[in-house]
Structure 1
Amino acid sequence: MTVIKFRDKKFTDDFLLFKSTSGESIICGFSSMSEKEANEHSVEYLSSTGAQDWSDVDQAMQLANESKKVVIDEKRDRAVLRKLDFYLMPLVSFLYALFYIDKACNGYAAVMGIQTDMNMKGNQYSWTSSAFYLGYLCFQPFAGYTLQRFPLSRTFSLYMLSWAVIICLQASNSSYAAFTFLRTLLGCSEASASVFTTLLTSQYYRKKEAFLRVSFWLSTSGFGIVFGSLMSYGIAIRADQFTIESWKVLFIVVGLISLVIGIIVFFHIPNTPAEAWFLSKEEKLVVVERIRENYQGFGNKKFKKQQCIEALLDPKTWLFFLYAIAFNIPNGGIASFGSILLHSDLGYSSTTALLYGVPQGIVEFVGLPIIAYTIQKLNWSRLLTTSIVIICCISFSCMLAFGKENHVKLAGYLLLSFMQIGPIGCFSYFASNVPGHTKKITVTGIYLIGYCVGNLVGPQTYRASDAPHYVPAKIAIVVCLAVSAACLLAIFTICMIENKKRDKNPNANPELAPENIEFSDLTDKENIFFRYTL
């Protein structure tokens, strides 16, 4: 098999055209191109025995030829998978829990008196929550670019160390303006977290394994709710024992924990599996061979304009964007006003309101992995099942919004945690169904922009004039969840139709795929042998 690299006249970036030894074209680009047409371009021939231009292909390509010789039996496969889970999942999951705690601290601090201490009026508290996502929104494209361009884990750990320092600095003053500014900087530094965990998952796990692993690290936000609620409760009931305000103690403790975890990430998590200190050379080859079926590898540090353009023209990208806005309006509102809602609407004391975060977190931390495991075990459609769970959550939001009794409202509030299956479905989709490193970064980035917009708008639905029951905000939860479910169903339908179309195309049979095409950094549109995992 010969690989021809050529430069298309329409785009400035390089394409890869695969040709069989008989000279027959195997089209994996935007359009069919004959040998004569290819010769009209500036062509460089690459082969497994000749010179290689590694900037155009995935970083895993250099190990791909060696990994072909590795025989993977079920015992070896499970041993490597267990090792990856042991060395990666606990730390990645805990740092994602910290990611949630860092954001939720603002809500805990509200119950602990920060609004009074900073003399906040009207909707000023809402803006301290929105400021985080404003910084996230502005910085996210740059964060995604740097994670692609520079070593993955080293770059992320530096971002994490910076957000740890910023959290500690939030305890250094009682100025509303300075606090809001620091919240904006915190959003900038945390804009890298979701991109990092998505890329890391796609580097090490098969498509069929990604959904469960994403559920592990996303559901630990539930552990973050439990940990953060208990920690803030413990600090709040001992407020008279501190020489500074209790909410300042909370920020300092969380900041120091984040600082320690950031240092551990720097030394523990490798930039790619090829650099993994905990894997032998043979195990690294096994990892490469395991992810071959993903049609994507470790990543490519070269920004490819045609992949960015493809992402922008893909309707699924904008459906995910719309979903992210709709889903995160209620998500952002509950994260910032959940404790306040329990206190003002349901009538619980401020400390009791903090404690009710514990059952909410347990529902998310325990329930979501069980759902994800069931989906994987029974081989259900991930997107379709995710949509169905969100539809069920619409009824829970109606209990919160329209329930007459407090216990009905409380049940709806707690069960709404199941809505977090939505991000699990989305991030597992990005990890397994968006090949092409630049396209993956772009699609994930656009989703996270929608995430920021939704979380920025969410707290604004809780207007001071609507206190104490915040009826308009609760109705917004019902409407937004319905829009979210519709977007995921539309994406599922598009992917299913495309899979059927490719199955009917005899030239798209995966058995005809050229050798090592999996690591050529091609997108789902460029690679006709790719199939979406539904």
Structure 2
Amino acid sequence: MSEKETATHNLDEVSSVENREWADVDQAMALAKESKEVTLDKKANDALLRKLDFFLMPLVSFLYSLFYIDKACNGYAAVMGIKTDMNMVGNQYAWTSSAFYLGYLCFQPIAGYTLQRFPLSRTFSIYMFSWAVIICLQASNHSYAAFIFLRTLLGCSEASASVFTTILTSQYYRKKEAFLRVSFWLSTAGFGVFFGSLMSYGIAIRADQFSIEPWKILFIVVGLISLTTGIIVFIHIPNTPGEAWFLSKKEKLLVVERLRENFQGFGNKKFKRYQCIEALLDVKTWLFFFYAVSFNIPNGGISSFGSILLNSDLGYSATDALLYGCPQGVVEFIGLPIIAYLIQRYNWPRLLTTSIVIVVCLPFACMLAFCEATHAKLAGYYLLNLMQIGPIGCFSYFASNTPGHTKKITVTGVYLIGYCVGNLIGPQTYRASDAPHYVPAKIAIVVCLAVASSCILGVYLLCRRENKRRDRMEEARPELAPENIEFSDLTDKENIFFRYTL
């Protein structure tokens, strides 16, 4: 079939928007029929954007930092005595990290489906309650087998976090705004590193003042913070913008108008098999998968063994290792939003810039891996965290460049499966026989980052080529798009008027 025939076929499919079954369209369609009555000027848009940022970003960012702290607690506990208390030998500690991602991997499809099928915020809140309880339960025993079981369950419950924040971002923000907002909530993992390190250090230096082991105190405190945050999310975050308690009727209509340029709306509760198949046959989906695997091998290893590296490789004491983890979080928390702001401010190609930043991080990985001087290794360890621009590029792509709600869930799910696989492998590269310097694991960091950068570059080149192809098609001019096509829950392949945000 020629390009023109394909375009005509697609145009016939999407031109009858008004005749599509109600279950097939986006949840925003009902408001879209009214939103033409409101005017979205710059003043109204800026005021609404500030309001959305005020009511959503602080809480979403904080809960994402908790998501990181929950995972990182395992690393903090390692230098607070959990390995000794549970009689871990050989690679048993590495498996406590891998067990989390095994649970995450197995439950990811279920988490994605339930967040699509049921009310978004309420469903996520239930998951958050469950992971808070599980974290507290980790402090209840000295059994390695029971701890591994709880770590696996924790992975199951936390499999929902990234899907939730991605969908939430796509519900409220335009494509050009998504990258910076994703950087806000994802960079708070750096705040999680900073806060978690300080909290762990404070508990560790007062270990003799507690009647139970300090790592148990850590799990209980983090679990209770997560439980409180889950209650606030349940009350505060609406399932869709149409249910937002903090928006007036006019503001809800303005949100819909803002989303028109995204060619997507609030989401669709109906699972569409053809969109799932389309996602699985899309080359870009598998480039994201291989990126996620290669990127998260070093990421998973550093998350679990960072404090151990500071202790055994760089020679800091167990308590100082917790304290010296703080600057790593500061680099991520401050550095990533600055990079994201510059990308948005100067309209740099997002995926291309993301790929370049990951390449720039390769020398930092080499400093950690091959330098002899402790200060050089420490600098490499800190600056390497700028590589976290990679997930920002990916999640902002899923939020803004993957229309079709089932396809969005599927592509994000495949990415997160790769994320799990990488994080399963990562801790296993830190073999007990390679202690205290773990040279093979450090070499793996360098190689994997090079592969990850290439995958992101591949996605950018494919999207740019497709945009140029559609720009050459007379039938695909955006001004020819049928009314309200934006809320018909069409995929990027179905909707020839869609253009990827580069």
Q: With structure 1 as the length reference, what TM-score do the two structures score?
A: 0.92
AA of the residue aligned to 2:284? K
1:139 pairs, out of 87, 107, 130, with: 107
Q: What is residue 352 of structure 1 aligned with on the other side?
A: 320
CA distance in 2, matches of 1:91, 1:218: 12
Q: What is residue 190 of structure 1 aligned with on the other side?
A: 158
Matched-pair contact (CA < 8 Å) for 2:17–2:488? no
Q: What is residue 342 of structure 2 aligned with on the other side?
A: 374
CA distance in 2, matches of 1:182, 1:426: 29
CA distance in 2, matches of 1:459, 1:68: 53
Q: Deviations over 1:403-462 (max 9, x none)?
A: 111111111000001000000000000000000000000000000000000001000000
1:69 pairs, out of 37, 42, 45, with: 37
CA distance in 2, matches of 1:28, 1:157: 42
Q: Deviations over 1:202-248 (max 9, x none)?
A: 00000000000000000000000000000000000000010000000
Unpaired stretches in structure 2, ≥5 consecutive residues: none
Matched-pair contact (CA < 8 Å) for 1:343–1:353? yes
CA distance in 2, matches of 1:53, 1:436: 15
AA of the residue aligned to 1:270? P
Residue correspondence of structure 1 range 472-483 to structure 2 within 5 A: 472-483=440-451
1:489 pairs, out of 447, 457, 473, with: 457
AA of the residue aligned to 2:196? G
Residue correspondence of structure 1 range 291-306 to structure 2 within 5 A: 291-306=259-274
Cα drift, residue 27 of structure 1 = 4.6
AA of the residue aligned to 1:69? E
Identity level (%)? 80
Residue correspondence of structure 1 range 396-407 to structure 2 within 5 A: 396-407=364-375
Q: What is residue 25 of structure 2 aligned with on the other side?
A: 57
Number of matched pairs: 498
Cα RMSD of the aligned pairs, angstroms, is 1.6
1:431 pairs, out of 399, 403, 422, with: 399
Q: What is residue 88 of structure 2 aligned with on the other side?
A: 120
Instruction: Specify which structure has the higher proportion of helix.
Output: 2
Residue correspondence of structure 1 range 212-223 to structure 2 within 5 A: 212-223=180-191
1:421 pairs, out of 351, 368, 389, with: 389
CA distance in 1, matches of 2:323, 2:14: 67
Residue correspondence of structure 1 range 257-406 to structure 2 within 5 A: 257-406=225-374
Matched-pair contact (CA < 8 Å) for 2:17–2:485? no
1:47 paired with 2:15, answer: no
Task: Pick closer, same or farther for the CA change 1:430–1:34 going to 2, 3 Å.
Answer: closer
Q: Deviations over 1:462-499 (max 9, x none)?
A: 00000000000000000000000000000000000000
CA distance in 2, matches of 1:47, 1:59: 14
AA of the residue aligned to 1:415? L
Segment of structure 1 superposing worse, 52-61 or 227-236: 52-61
Q: What is residue 436 of structure 2 aligned with on the other side?
A: 468
1:109 paired with 2:77, answer: yes
Secondary structure (helix, strand or coil) at the match of 1:243 reads coil
Q: What is residue 65 of structure 2 aligned with on the other side?
A: 97
2:420 pairs, out of 440, 445, 452, with: 452
Task: Pick closer, same or farther for the CA change 1:25–1:227 going to 2, 3 Å.
Answer: closer
CA distance in 2, matches of 1:27, 1:281: 38
CA distance in 1, matches of 2:21, 2:355: 42
Larger radius of gyration: 1
Q: Which has the higher contact order (CA 8 A, sep 6+)?
A: 2
Q: What is residue 255 of structure 1 aligned with on the other side?
A: 223
Cα drift, residue 154 of structure 1 = 0.2
1:231 paired with 2:199, answer: yes
Cα drift, residue 53 of structure 1 = 3.0
AA of the residue aligned to 2:476? A
Q: What is residue 4 of structure 1 aligned with on the other side?
A: none
2:147 pairs, out of 150, 157, 179, with: 179
Matched-pair contact (CA < 8 Å) for 1:27–1:528? no
CA distance in 2, matches of 1:355, 1:367: 20
Task: Pick closer, same or farther for the CA change 1:462–1:66 going to 2, 3 Å.
Answer: same
Secondary structure (helix, strand or coil) at the match of 1:477 reads helix
Task: Pick closer, same or farther for the CA change 1:33–1:530 going to 2, 3 Å.
Answer: closer
AA of the residue aligned to 1:259? L
CA distance in 2, matches of 1:78, 1:121: 57
Task: Pick closer, same or farther for the CA change 1:87–1:33 going to 2, 3 Å.
Answer: closer
CA distance in 2, matches of 1:211, 1:372: 7
Secondary structure (helix, strand or coil) at the match of 2:75 reads helix
Secondary structure (helix, strand or coil) at the match of 1:81 reads helix
Matched-pair contact (CA < 8 Å) for 2:7–2:476? no
CA distance in 2, matches of 1:25, 1:382: 29
Q: Deviations over 1:380-420 (max 9, x none)?
A: 01000000000001111011111111111111000001000
Moved >2 Å (runs of 4+): 24-29, 31-35, 45-48
Cα drift, residue 47 of structure 1 = 3.4
Cα drift, residue 297 of structure 1 = 0.2
Cα drift, residue 311 of structure 1 = 0.2
Cα drift, residue 72 of structure 1 = 1.0
Secondary structure (helix, strand or coil) at the match of 1:47 reads helix
CA distance in 2, matches of 1:310, 1:27: 19
Unpaired stretches in structure 1, ≥5 consecutive residues: 1-23, 36-44
Q: Deviations over 1:254-286 (max 9, x none)?
A: 000000000000010000000000000000000
1:130 paired with 2:101, answer: no
CA distance in 2, matches of 1:195, 1:529: 26
Matched-pair contact (CA < 8 Å) for 1:25–1:34? no
Cα drift, residue 357 of structure 1 = 1.3
Matched-pair contact (CA < 8 Å) for 2:101–2:423? yes
Cα drift, residue 28 of structure 1 = 6.8
Matched-pair contact (CA < 8 Å) for 1:319–1:491? yes
CA distance in 2, matches of 1:135, 1:516: 40
Matched-pair contact (CA < 8 Å) for 2:174–2:400? yes
Secondary structure (helix, strand or coil) at the match of 1:55 reads helix
AA of the residue aligned to 2:413? G
Q: What is residue 170 of structure 2 aligned with on the other side?
A: 202
